[in-house]
Amino acid sequence: MDFSLPPVVAALKERTDAFIRDAIIPLEKDPRQTPHGPTDELRRDLNALAREAGLLSPHMPREWGGLGLDHRGKAVVFEAAGYGLLGPLALNIAAPDEGNMHLLEQVADERQKRRWLAPLAAADIRSCFAMTEPHPGAGADPALLATSYRKAPGGYVVNGTKWLITGAHGAGFCIIMARDEASPAGEPRATMFLADMDQPGIVIERTLDTMDQGFPGGHCVVSFQDVFVPDEDVLGREGEGFRYAQVRLAPARLTHCMRWLGAARRAHDIATDYARRRHAFGKPLIEHEGIGFQLADNELDMHTCRLVIAQAAWVLDQGQKGRHESSMAKVICSEAIWRVVDRCVQVLGGMGITGDTVVERIFREARPFRIYDGPSEVHRWSIARKLAREGAR
């Protein structure tokens, strides 16, 4: 691996750094942020700023209005964007839209791309991805997928309930994962469907109260009641849903790591600045080993994350699936980033639990990262299974 950045990517990182610092961070106190995420009005204003700066959807190919970044380029630009809590939203690289764009670009046919990908990449609409279900349906175990479909004249009929569907309220369309109702229990044959959110049968039952508040549209319970999906709106091929899920998940896990690394760096910078200025027991806090060592450990964790992300991004850029590498990166980074932010709260002391700095908000936003896109335990289980298979061979 060559760790140097191409000049164009290095310049883009610097532009993103300046944009986040000068245009986005000053908007973090904007009143159009709610307990269930920024409003769409605020999102559109943020996207307009990024569009004017030439930074909108940098991960997308140029034919869809992006900058054509590879995964290594995304790593540095997404981290720079994540330094501001509203940065990923402004650049149109936040979840779930960023992962959905990648999936559509890889799997959708040309008509579907014009119909859904084009307005999504332009930030004209938002989207959601409906996979997770309440008990006893699918969560970390996709084999429990309960939402089902059956063939009907000219298409399919989908029924079921999903929950924790990020961004559902106000989304323009949804990617629905459902099982063939004829497939056996525990061995579902899954298919992905594209559906506009305003069509009959799609009902947002409620918006869940969660500890994070950074996603427009919140996290919702959504029911699908005899939703008709025409044949042409099947995403990819029928029965290939789980395979396409991996197309989406491996890069999406990694981009989460990139964005949250930026947020962790922001918290670390605030805590470090405070430790330099705040005096106790005759000297600055940072000169006390109990504080200085915590900040040193932050540097170690963030450096490790950056290297892990770079290696996994390189694997994806070589055309490999990167499933194992993204699993390792997700566990390493989600847990290391949590340690960094937790230490920052500790270093700040009483201030760390107030809203006087953004660290308290980052603390709440970062904690769910160890759960979504597969909890750490499931990734460790997957890694252990790989070791068992290699040992058997």
pLDDT in tens, 29-38: 999 999 999 9
Continuous segment of H or E residues that includes residue 313: helix 289-317
> Which two structure tokens, joined as six digits, stand for 167?
């961004």
- Averaged confidence pLDDT in the chain: 96
Q: How confident is the model at residue 3 (pLDDT cuts 50, 70, 90)?
A: confident
Query: Rounded mean pLDDT of 268-290?
Result: 98
With 80 as the cut, is the pLDDT of residue 393 above it?
no
d(CA 242, CA 200): 26
d(CA 122, CA 188): 35
With 80 as the cut, is the pLDDT of residue 153 above it?
yes
pTM more than 0.85: yes
Query: Rounded mean pLDDT of 43-65?
Result: 98
Enumerate domains of the chain plus CATH numbers: 7-94 (1.10.540.10), 127-238 (2.40.110.10), 242-392 (1.20.140.10)
- CB neighbours of 52 closer than 8 A, spacing ≥ 6? none
